[in-house]
């Protein structure tokens, strides 16, 4: 699953939500990430990679304009189990604008669920 998750060149083939990622996959580096939430316009942002632990975790943090205004930390975690691999995505938003945007994350959540389903299929094939 790690190989599919980090093969950014092929995201457009299988991922309906995060349609492209480019940039070096290394701590401290900036990525260019394009998302297409269901029913919303596409958005591109440039998060900083926080953690790259092969076969375990990928984590990045993005921000709007300046730190503390609207920050989003996203994680992809993998855990080996007796039945295969358990995959978990997490997102934590912080900053002064978060209360004003309460309830606006529904399409994003739907997008991540769709991504999870497609990632599972891609990894199993």
Place of tokens 């790690």: 2
Place of tokens 């730190």: 67
pLDDT of 117 above 70: yes
CB of 64 closer than 8 Å to CB of 97: yes
Q: Quick one: what percent of the chain has pLDDT higher than 70?
A: 96
H or E element at residue 59:
strand 57-63
DSSP 74-121: EEEEEEEETTEEEEEEEEEEESTTGGGGTTTTHHHHHHHHHHHHHHHH
Report pLDDT digits (tens) over 92-107: 988 888 887 766 666 7
pLDDT at site 105: 66
pLDDT at site 102: 67
Give the 3-state secondary structure of residue 44: strand
pTM value is: 0.87
- Domain-by-domain residue ranges, the chain? 2-124
Report pLDDT digits (tens) over 6-43: 999 999 999 999 999 999 999 999 999 999 988 888 99
pLDDT at site 38: 87
**Cα separation, 18 vs 96, whole angstroms:** 26
Please report which confidence band the pLDDT of residue 108 belongs to, taking 50, 70 and 90 as the band edges: confident
Superfamily of domain 2-124: START domain (3.30.530.20)
């Amino acid at each position: 699953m790690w190989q599919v998750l980090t093969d950014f060149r092929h995201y457009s083939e299988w991922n309906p939500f995060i349609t492209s990622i480019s940039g070096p996959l290394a701590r401290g580096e900036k990525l260019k990430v394009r998302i297409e939430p269901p029913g919303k316009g596409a958005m591109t942002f440039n998060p900083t990679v926080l953690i790259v632990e092969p076969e375990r975790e990928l984590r990045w943090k993005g921000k709007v304009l300046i730190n503390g205004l609207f920050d989003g930390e996203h994680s992809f975690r993998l855990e080996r189990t007796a039945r295969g691999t358990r995959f978990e995505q997490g997102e934590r938003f912080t900053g002064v604008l978060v209360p004003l945007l309460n309830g606006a994350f529904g399409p994003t959540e739907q997008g991540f669920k769709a991504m999870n389903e497609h990632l599972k299929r891609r990894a199993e094939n």
